[in-house]
């Protein structure tokens, strides 16, 4: 809902048009097109395996590992649920402090000069390389996976938050100040709505990376989760099960990415610079 200024200086809401039927049809067409390309890729994979006669010990056909998802679901589901929980907790652990700290670094020049370079240095360190140290410090439980996922989530969201809070056009800021807007009103009605798309973009990137890093952490030290299941399946030369677990992990990442897209579109329709949430 957008806002306009009345003669008394109050902020009045203005209705924002919803997405048109054409836009919805275009979105549905693009989703269908992506699905067709993916199905075509699986069909080509199936034909390649069938024509080449390669053993499923080297490369299983899609029909094999897709069937295995259903036949072995009672075994896959608990591991998938554990991985999803770790991704969710790690995402919250990284995302919740990232936005306030990003705003603090933007708003306080001293933090930008002192704390930000240190955080950039930490961001350069490969997060997966920290897993062995975290295993030594915290053991083989959930904490190392949550910590490494939280670190991987934290930096993209924080950096995007700083960029978003800094993206407000100076002319718009001068206009609001000349109209007597307070710092709180400028933050709530202008800076935060401007930063939201940047923050959501950072979240979308982070969720997919969090799935990857949690699974890699489960490779290094875990007794459960999709990473552990994949490692155990490969050790037992059960590649259809390994590919089935990989496919489920991909579905988790895709679902989280689509959820981020829906959140981004919902916010974009109802909350943009100069609009109330």
- pLDDT at residue number 171: 66
> Considering only CA atoms, which of 160, 154, 69, 147 is closest in space to residue 106?
160
Express each pLDDT in 134-161 by its tens digit: 888 887 778 888 888 888 889 888 888 8
> Dihedral angle at the C-alpha atoms of 247, 250, 252, 254, nearest 10 degrees?
-130
Does the pLDDT value for residue 79 go beyond 90? yes
**pTM greater than the 0.95 cutoff:** no
Summarize the confidence of residues 188-208 as an average pLDDT.
80
pLDDT, residue 114, reads 83
Average the pLDDT over 245-271 and give the result: 80
Residue with the bigger pLDDT between 258 and 71: it is 71
**Using 50, 70 and 90 to split pLDDT, how confident is the model at 276?**
very low
Across the range 195-224, mean pLDDT stands at 84
**78 pLDDT higher than 90:** yes
**pLDDT in the model for residue 82:** 92
Q: Is the pLDDT of residue 4 over 50?
A: no
57-270 classified as CATH 1.10.3720.10: yes
**Residue 274 reports pLDDT greater than 90:** no
Q: What average pLDDT does the structure give for the chain?
A: 78
The pLDDT of residue 202 is: 85
Tens-place pLDDT, residues 26-66? 666 666 767 788 788 888 888 888 888 777 778 888 888 88
| HEC readout, the chain | CEEEECCCCCEEEECCCCCCHHHHHHHHHHHHHHHHHHHHHHHHHHHHHHHHCCCCCCCCCHHHHHHHHHHCHHHHHHHHHHHHHHHHHHHHHHHHHHHHHHHHHHHCHHHHHHHHHHHHHHHHCCHHHHHHHHHHHHCCCCHHHHHHHHHHHHHHHHHHHHHHHCCCCHHHHHHHHHCCCCHHHHHHHHHHHHHHHHHHHHHHHHHHHHHHHHHHHHHHCCCCCHHHHHHHHHHCCCHHHHHHHHHHHHHHHHHHHHHHHHHHHHHHHHCCCCECC
Reported confidence tier of residue 212, pLDDT bands at 50, 70, 90: confident
pLDDT of residue 37: 83
Chain segment 81-139, per-residue pLDDT in tens:
999 999 999 999 988 999 888 888 888 888 888 888 888 888 787 877 787 888 888 87
Residue 185: predicted pLDDT:
65
pLDDT tens string 221-247: 778 889 899 999 988 888 999 999 999
Q: Could you tell me the pLDDT band of residue 196, with boundaries at 50, 70 and 90? A: confident
Check pLDDT > 70 for residue 12: no
Share of the chain above pLDDT 70, in %: 77
């Amino acid at each position: 809902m957008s806002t306009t200024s009345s003669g008394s200086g109050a902020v009045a809401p203005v209705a924002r048009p919803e997405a048109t039927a054409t836009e919805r049809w275009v979105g549905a067409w693009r989703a269908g097109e992506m699905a067709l390309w993916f199905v075509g890729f699986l069909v080509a994979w199936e034909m390649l395996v069938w024509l080449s006669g390669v053993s499923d010990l080297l490369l299983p056909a899609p029909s094999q590992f897709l069937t295995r998802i259903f036949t072995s679901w009672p075994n896959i589901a608990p591991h998938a649920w554990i991985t999803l929980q770790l991704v969710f907790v790690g995402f919250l652990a990284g995302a919740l402090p990232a936005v306030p700290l990003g705003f603090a670094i933007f708003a306080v020049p001293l933090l930008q000069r002192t704390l930000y370079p240190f955080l950039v240095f930490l961001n350069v360190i490969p997060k997966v390389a920290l897993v062995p140290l975290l295993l030594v410090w915290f053991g083989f439980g959930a904490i190392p996976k949550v910590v490494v996922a939280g670190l991987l989530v934290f930096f993209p969201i924080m950096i995007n938050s700083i960029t978003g809070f800094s993206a407000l056009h100076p002319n718009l800021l001068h206009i609001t100040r000349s109209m007597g807007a307070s710092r709180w009103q400028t933050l709530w009605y202008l800076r935060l709505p401007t930063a939201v798309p940047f923050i959501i973009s950072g979240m979308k990137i982070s969720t997919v990376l969090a799935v990857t890093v949690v699974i890699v952490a489960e490779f290094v030290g875990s007794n459960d989760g999709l990473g552990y299941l994949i490692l155990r399946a490969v050790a037992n030369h059960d590649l259809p099960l390994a590919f089935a677990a990989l496919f489920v992990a991909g579905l988790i990442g895709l679902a989280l990415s689509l959820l981020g897209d829906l959140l981004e579109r919902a916010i974009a329709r109802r909350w943009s610079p100069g609009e109330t949430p």
